[in-house]
Amino acid sequence: MTGLRSLTLAILFAQACVARLPATPTAPLASQSVQSPSNEPAPTGPRNFLHAPEALARHKARWIADRQHPEPALAQLLDDAGKALAGKPFSVTEKIVLPPSGDKHDYLSLAPYAWPDPRKPDGLPYIMRDGQTNPERDSIPDHAYFSRIVSLTETLGLAYYFTCDESFAQHAGLLLRTFFVEPATHMNPNLNFAQGVRGKENGRASGIIDTVGIARLVDGVGLLLDSPSLSQADRDGLLGWFRDYLTWLRESELGRREGQAKNNHGTWYDVQVVSLALATGQVDLARETLQFAHKRRIGRQIDPDGSQPEELQRTKSWHYSIFNLQAFLALANLGDRAGVDLWHYQTPDGRSLRKALLWLIPFALGDKPWTTEEIGGLKPEALWPIVREAAFRLQDSQLAAAAARLGAHQEDRLWLFVE
């Protein structure tokens, strides 16, 4: 009965926050339920797709029951959100270098692993050195800015959900309005010039990985939509940007090519498409993409023993093996919202997400030596979050035991999405 009482307190607290707000028509992100084919209106509560809303509600209930002793992860979140309030708005229009289009609103970035060719007087065209980041990439801030708007939106959205403190929503609204909506500062919804290679190509399909965090951005926006600090124009502008960027992902040449990628780029492309489809009410598209992921992603990217051959070819093979699994877990979580099960899917010859996790665990625990190239050095701690989350989603005692051996990080935000 204690758990039921806590959950009831959380619901009442959430309703009390909503009751203070003016009646405003909600956009598809706020009103679409993706848990059943009927698309019935969503219940009151956190509106997010990447992580289970009920997990957030349970943590909120615990905090309401004892606000003097927040869980370490929540305390860290609120501290991060407080610091975020001091940040000024920023925009892709601040860059000095213009994109080839001449439009400063177009996103622009350089390929991280592209370097001047030492055999050429001018270094052109640049050549690739896999895994070795050229610091010249940081001379154009758009990629860092996009990562920052994702992180801040998620942080402020979560803080607003837990506290109903309008200062968090107000600041998030300012940042989002500046980055995506305002005519003078908005980012155009395309990545035509992402990860260009000097002297070779202005933009690449693989540059779409620059917006890898879009599912977190979508969730952060979803947590903010009920706030009066976001006007209807803000809501319409954000949802319109999501729709337009999803159209670009699916219809542009670069987007179509990235969708065909056979490694982590393809998996993360699906994550972006599914999250944006759910956010804009295109549930059939989300389900179709997730259904294809069974064979196109799990069936082709994971071997029967659980290894990921495309990622093992990289010079940072450990990093990319984990990076691809992070995308798979994100897809599986999104699948929960859309009624498509990736967690338990297994090909006839045994390929599955669980098998991929089990394959990596002995290396992280030091029971087996990592024999493929990893120029960044093996970082076992990077595996803990995905093993812990998978253990929770699958209710798997073997994975839970492995996560415990890998070590718990009580201040990690992951704890707010599990337990």
Residue 10 — very low, low, confident or very high, per pLDDT cuts 50/70/90?
very low
Q: How many CB atoms lie within 10 A of CB 236?
A: 13
Residue 24 has pLDDT above 60, yes or no: no
Instruction: Provide the pLDDT for residue 29.
Output: 64
Residue 217 — very low, low, confident or very high, per pLDDT cuts 50/70/90?
very high
* Overall average pLDDT of the 359-377 stretch: 97
Domain ranges for the chain = 1-13+45-69, 71-260, 281-419
**Whole-number Å distance between alpha carbons of 57 and 35:** 17
> Residue 65 is which amino acid?
A
Residue 327 has pLDDT above 80, yes or no: yes
Higher pLDDT pick, 233 / 47: 233
Percent of the residues in the chain that have a pLDDT greater than 90, as a whole number: 87
> Residue 341 is which amino acid?
D
**Whole-number Å distance between alpha carbons of 150 and 187:** 14
Residue 318 — very low, low, confident or very high, per pLDDT cuts 50/70/90?
very high
Q: Which CATH superfamily is domain 71-260 in?
A: Chondroitin AC/alginate lyase (1.50.10.100)
Strands 127-128, 114-115: pairing kind? antiparallel
**Whole-number Å distance between alpha carbons of 41 and 113:** 46
* Overall average pLDDT of the 167-181 stretch: 98
User: In this predicted model, what pLDDT tens digit does every residue of 39-98 receive, in sequence order?
Assistant: 333 333 467 899 888 999 999 999 999 999 999 999 999 999 999 999 999 999 999 999
Instruction: Provide the pLDDT for residue 221.
Output: 97
Residue 70 to residues 62, 76, 152, 189, 389, Cα–Cα distance (Å)? 8, 9, 21, 39, 21
Across 2-11, 56-65, 152-161, least confident range: 2-11
Helix 353-364, helix 317-338: angle, nearest 10: 150
* Average predicted confidence (pLDDT) for the chain: 91
**Cβ burial, residue 24 (10 Å; 0-12/13-18/19+):** middle
**Whole-number Å distance between alpha carbons of 364 and 91:** 39
**Whole-number Å distance between alpha carbons of 315 and 324:** 15
Burial 302-326 (b: 16+ CB within 10 A, else e): bbeebbbebbbebbbbbbbbbbbbb
**Whole-number Å distance between alpha carbons of 204 and 108:** 11
Instruction: Provide the pLDDT for residue 18.
Output: 45
Residue 351 has pLDDT above 70, yes or no: yes
User: In this predicted model, what pLDDT tens digit does every residue of 401-417 receive, in sequence order?
Assistant: 999 999 878 999 999 99
**Whole-number Å distance between alpha carbons of 198 and 114:** 8
> Of 3.40.630.30, 1.10.132.20, 3.40.50.1820, 1.50.10.100, which CATH number belongs to 281-419?
1.50.10.100
* Overall average pLDDT of the 95-105 stretch: 98
Nearest to 413 by CA among 162, 197, 114, 117: 162
* Overall average pLDDT of the 11-20 stretch: 46
Instruction: Provide the pLDDT for residue 92.
Output: 98
Equal CATH topology for 71-260 and 281-419: yes
pTM recorded for the entire structure: 0.91
Residue 204 has pLDDT above 70, yes or no: yes
Residue 334 near residue 282, CB atoms below 8 Å: no
Residue 291 has pLDDT above 70, yes or no: yes
Instruction: Provide the pLDDT for residue 408.
Output: 79
Residue 28 has pLDDT above 60, yes or no: no
Residue 12 has pLDDT above 50, yes or no: no
